Amino acid sequence: MVSERDVQHIAELADIGIDKEELEEFTGRINEILTYFDILDKVPLGEPKKADLVNIFREDVVESSLHHDEVLANTHAAEDGFFRAPRVM
């Protein structure tokens, strides 16, 4: 079970801003779902088998891609050919 404080913490980790008034509702619903997930405790023990997958690589050669202008076309904050992001420090 998670508490409202836990949910607040998860929301911060995920950068999901949630309002104080929503906290109780989110916590209740998430707990209902997590309680349902407890059924996984009954899964017969076993290691997930390693899938026989191989990484697919290609030669490191330049291929055609989007033009600069197209990449920046959807941002509201382009500056000197870059995206402007919120400050980190």
Partner 1 sequence: MATISFSLDDRYNAFITTLAEADTGPGPLSGIPIAVKDNISTRGIPTTCASRILEGYVPPYDAHVVTLLKNAGAAIVGKTNMDEFGMGTTTENSAFGPTKNPADPTRVPGGSSGGSAAAVASGMVRMALGTDTGGSIRCPAAFCGIVGHKPTYGRVSRYGLVAYANSLEQIGPMARSVADISLLMKVLAGHDPRDSTSVNCPYSHIPDPDVSGLKIGVPEEFFGEGVDPRVASVVWDAISLLERKGAALITCRMPSMAYALAAYYVTCTSEAGSNLARFDGVRYGPPADTKLPWHEAFQQRRRDGFGTEVKRRIMLGTFVLSSGYYGKYYAKAQVARRQVREDFERLFSTVDVIAGPTMPTVAFRFGEKTDPLSMYLSDILTVPANLAGIPAISVPCGTSEGLPVGLQIMGPQFADERVIDVAAAFEQGSGR
Please report, as ranges, the residues that interact with partner 1 according to CB under 8 A: 2, 6-7, 10-19, 22, 26, 29-30, 32-34, 36-37, 39-49, 56, 58, 66, 70-71, 73-77, 83-88
Q: Is 41 or 80 the residue whose CB approaches partner 1 more closely?
A: 41
Closest separation between CB of residue 81 and partner 1, Å?
13
Of residues 28, 75, 11, 70, the one with CA closest to residue 84: 75
Spell out the residues 6+ positions from residue 34 whose beta carbon is closer than 8 angstroms to its own. Answer: 1, 2
Closest separation between CB of residue 69 and partner 1, Å?
9
Cβ–Cβ under 8 Å, residues 3 and 27 = yes
